[in-house]
């Protein structure tokens, strides 16, 4: 296995809007990030993935970009960006920026031109189509509710938007558009960033003719834009035109609906496309027919099967990303742990898993504090376009049960992760002196960075230790993976191996005590403790595990 810095790195994701406000407008900003870099250095992370910092009307909090070379006004200036980048680099932290090029904002000058007339030079930058029998060109649905097409009276055509109608899809069939994207990448690489997280990277290529999609799923049309016919051609081209120029650059593709077979191409070990991808199977396994607001109960055996599959099947062929949370997912401790009595134990257990698997681990801001899902009094408190549109579509204009939808939103909704960072127990958790753009989670008085840093037994210090251990032991990064006791509905047990170095990981996913039996295939001459969220020594033996106990051993 080729060694690379980005395989050994632990990445921390910052959602700038909610990280740290420096000027009292209630919105996080770049100066705010710069002021918190010592904290990140103390945690020990190697790189930051920064959610979009570009100019945007914020229909989808920056994932709708109106100028790819400009900075979002609320976030500050280009000088602020330069300073932030320089201060990161000084601390040995690399910077990965988000690149959102499946679509732009409808306020981008390309789209403003494009919609003017059918013969405008920018017309083909987007996906325009005639209607069919006085209706939309096909039956595709937007991932933010309703049709994926918007009618534009001016030219009597529809444009495609897989996300909101303010996020028109760019036409990747047009080579000029692709060159624009490569120029934007060059611009930021020249500025000194270390790579990109590519937003919805699996969606650039659409089936020619844009046929109707199957209607048995929430996202109708998906099979015609996920991993489409030219997608690998596009990434090979991007790689030749951009990645090949910058030796140390890292790219991570957000590839919902990616299969192991597809991932082997996107994240191929030969470096022909991207460095790695985010797979989505473990975060969507509860969705019924792909509908995120219609959920089945969590099943640990199914979850383990997914996690283990991605461990073993990419081995040596492609590189994996490891994550439990991001700005689109709820808080991991609320989802898979226990955010009340065993909040600390379960958060530590979950990250013991992420930090002892093969792949590059990502920590989303606040996860190192065990921040939890939020519970608001009213739907009005939510700001997320996905939540608001689903509510309008299903409750206001449909006949969905409001209590049931609210329950789903409280469990899975994106605003759970977007409540501002909880720095201390002062007003608004030290996030802002103004009014936060999204209501704080009231538990900031107990759960915050100041408290966590002061407590030697905190999740923060445990995360720090997990990072240090991963930096120290190559087996945690590169070791091959083997699972035991696969049908056990309570425990996740696996080993890692790199040459002589071996590791055993035992995770109790329940709030009950569970019996662990050392698999008989495992032979131990000598063992020591790698990490544990309870008092433990390094003796590998059968034992009774306490609620959410996690133990990792090194052994030969």
Q: What are phi and psi of 515, to 5 degrees?
A: -85, 130
Site residues for ligand NOJ, 79-108, by CB under 6 A, read: 100
Based on the shown chain and the rule CB under 6 A, indicate whether residue 199 belongs to the binding site for ligand NOJ. Answer: yes
Based on the shown chain and the rule CB under 6 A, indicate whether residue 354 belongs to the binding site for ligand NOJ. Answer: no
- Nearest residue (CB) to ligand NOJ, 140 versus 163: 163
- Nearest residue (CB) to ligand NOJ, 63 versus 473: 63
Based on the shown chain and the rule CB under 6 A, indicate whether residue 549 belongs to the binding site for ligand NOJ. Answer: no
Strand boundaries in 63-221, DSSP class E: 67-71, 94-99, 128-129, 149-152, 157-160, 195-198
Q: Are 272 and 239 in contact (CB under 8 A)?
A: yes
- Nearest residue (CB) to ligand NOJ, 328 versus 549: 328
CB 418, min distance to ligand NOJ, A: 10
For every residue of 175-200, DSSP letters joined together read: HHHHHHHHHHHHHHHHHT--EEEETT
CB 380, min distance to ligand NOJ, A: 21
Q: How far is CA 51 from the centre of its chain?
A: 10
Q: Does residue 199 have an active-site annotation?
A: yes
Q: Which of 21, 60, 199, 483 is catalytic?
A: 199
Structure tokens at 303: 């979850």
CB 264, min distance to ligand NOJ, A: 23
- Nearest residue (CB) to ligand NOJ, 99 versus 408: 99
The 236-275 site mask, x for binding ligand NOJ (CB under 6 A), equals ------------------x---------------------
Structure tokens at 294: 């219609």
Q: How far apart are CA 325 and CA 347, in angstroms?
A: 12
Q: What secondary structure letter does DSSP report for 212?
A: P
Based on the shown chain and the rule CB under 6 A, indicate whether residue 530 belongs to the binding site for ligand NOJ. Answer: no
Q: Which residues are paired to 151 by β-bridges?
A: 158
Based on the shown chain and the rule CB under 6 A, indicate whether residue 163 belongs to the binding site for ligand NOJ. Answer: yes
Q: Return the ∠ at Cα 272 (arms to 260 and 192), rounded to 5°.
A: 110
Q: How far apart are CA 250 and CA 194, in angstroms?
A: 6
- Nearest residue (CB) to ligand NOJ, 168 versus 436: 168
Q: Does residue 186 have an active-site annotation?
A: no
Q: CB count, 10 Å around CB of 392?
A: 14
Q: Which residue is associated with the tokens 């690399």? A: 94
CB 465, min distance to ligand NOJ, A: 29
CB 415, min distance to ligand NOJ, A: 11
Q: How far apart are CA 223 and CA 213, in angstroms?
A: 7
- Nearest residue (CB) to ligand NOJ, 13 versus 356: 13
Size of the site for ligand NOJ (CB under 6 A): 9
Select from 29, 59, 60, 367 the one that contacts ligand NOJ (CB under 6 A).
60
Q: Which of 64, 98, 254, 451 is catalytic?
A: 254
Q: What are phi and psi of 339, to 5 degrees?
A: -85, 10
Based on the shown chain and the rule CB under 6 A, indicate whether residue 200 belongs to the binding site for ligand NOJ. Answer: yes
Q: How far apart are CA 357 and CA 193, in angstroms?
A: 27
CB 411, min distance to ligand NOJ, A: 18
Q: Are 243 and 251 in contact (CB under 8 A)?
A: yes
Structure tokens at 279: 């797979």
Based on the shown chain and the rule CB under 6 A, indicate whether residue 286 belongs to the binding site for ligand NOJ. Answer: no
Based on the shown chain and the rule CB under 6 A, indicate whether residue 50 belongs to the binding site for ligand NOJ. Answer: no
Based on the shown chain and the rule CB under 6 A, indicate whether residue 328 belongs to the binding site for ligand NOJ. Answer: yes
CB 9, min distance to ligand NOJ, A: 20
CB 328, min distance to ligand NOJ, A: 5
- Residue number of the CB closest to ligand NOJ reads 63
- Nearest residue (CB) to ligand NOJ, 115 versus 327: 327
Based on the shown chain and the rule CB under 6 A, indicate whether residue 181 belongs to the binding site for ligand NOJ. Answer: no
Q: Are 18 and 418 in contact (CB under 8 A)?
A: yes
7-32 burial: b if 16+ Cβ within 10 Å, else e? bebbbbbbbbbbbbbbeeebbbbbbb
Q: 3-state class of 67 per DSSP?
A: strand
Tell me which residues touch ligand NOJ (CB under 6 A). 60, 63, 100, 163, 199-200, 254, 327-328
Residues annotated catalytic, as ranges = 199, 254
């Amino acid at each position: 296995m080729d060694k690379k810095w980005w395989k050994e790195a632990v990445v921390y994701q910052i959602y700038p809007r909610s990280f740290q406000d420096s000027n009292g407008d209630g919105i996080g900003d770049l100066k705010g990030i710069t002021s918190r870099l010592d904290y990140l250095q103390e945690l020990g992370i190697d790189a930051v993935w920064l959610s979009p910092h570009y100019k945007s009307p914020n229909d989808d909090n920056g994932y709708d970009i109106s100028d790819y070379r400009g900075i979002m006004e609320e976030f500050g200036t280009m000088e602020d960006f330069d300073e932030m980048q320089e201060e990161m680099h000084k601390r040995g932290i690399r910077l990965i920026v988000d690149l959102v090029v499946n679509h732009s904002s409808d306020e981008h000058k390309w789209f403003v031109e494009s919609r003017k007339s059918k013969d405008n030079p920018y017309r083909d930058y987007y996906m325009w189509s005639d209607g069919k029998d006085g209706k939309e060109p096909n039956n595709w649905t937007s991932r933010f509710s309703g049709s994926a097409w918007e009618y534009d009276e001016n030219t009597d055509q529809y444009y495609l938007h897989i996300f909101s109608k303010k996020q028109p899809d760019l036409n990747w069939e047009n080579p000029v558009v692709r060159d624009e994207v490569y120029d934007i990448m060059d611009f930021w690489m020249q500025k000194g960033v270390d790579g990109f997280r590519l937003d919805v990277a699996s969606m650039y290529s659409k089936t020619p003719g844009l046929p109707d999609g199957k209607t048995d799923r929430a996202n109708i049309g998906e099979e015609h834009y996920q991993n489409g016919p030219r997608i690998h051609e596009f990434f090979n081209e991007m790689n030749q035109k951009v990645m090949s120029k910058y030796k140390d650059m890292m790219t991570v593709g957000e590839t919902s609906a990616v299969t192991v077979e597809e991932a082997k191409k996107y994240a191929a070990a030969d470096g022909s496309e991207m460095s790695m991808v985010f797979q989505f199977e473990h975060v969507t396994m509860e969705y019924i027919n792909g509908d995120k607001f219609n959920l089945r109960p969590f099943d640990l055996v199914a979850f383990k099967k997914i996690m283990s599959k991605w461990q073993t099947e990419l081995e040596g062929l492609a590189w994996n990303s490891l994550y439990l949370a991001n700005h689109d997912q709820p808080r991991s401790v609320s989802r898979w742990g226990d955010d009340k009595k065993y909040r600390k134990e379960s958060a530590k257990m979950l990250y013991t898993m992420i930090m002892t698997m093969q792949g590059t681990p990502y920590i989303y801001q606040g996860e190192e504090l065990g921040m939890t899902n939020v519970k608001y009094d009213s739907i009005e408190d939510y700001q997320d376009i996905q939540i608001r549109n689903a509510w309008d579509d299903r409750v206001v204009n449909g006949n969905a049960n409001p209590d049931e939808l609210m329950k789903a939103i409280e469990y899975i909704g994106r605003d759970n992760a977007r409540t501002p960072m909880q720095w201390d127990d002062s007003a608004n958790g030290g996030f802002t002196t103004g009014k936060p753009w999204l209501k704080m989670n009231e538990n900031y008085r107990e759960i915050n960075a100041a408290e966590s840093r002061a407590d030697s037994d905190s999740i923060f210090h445990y995360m720090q230790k997990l990072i240090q251990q991963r930096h120290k032991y190559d087996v945690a990064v590169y070791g091959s993976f083997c699972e035991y006791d696969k049908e056990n509905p309570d425990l996740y047990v696996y080993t890692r191996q790199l040459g002589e170095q071996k590791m055993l990981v035992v995770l109790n996913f329940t709030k009950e005590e569970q019996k662990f039996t050392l698999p008989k295939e495992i032979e131990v001459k000598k063992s020591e403790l790698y990490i544990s969220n309870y008092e433990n020594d390094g003796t590998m033996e059968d034992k009774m595990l306490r609620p959410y106990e996690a133990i990792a051993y090194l052994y030969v």
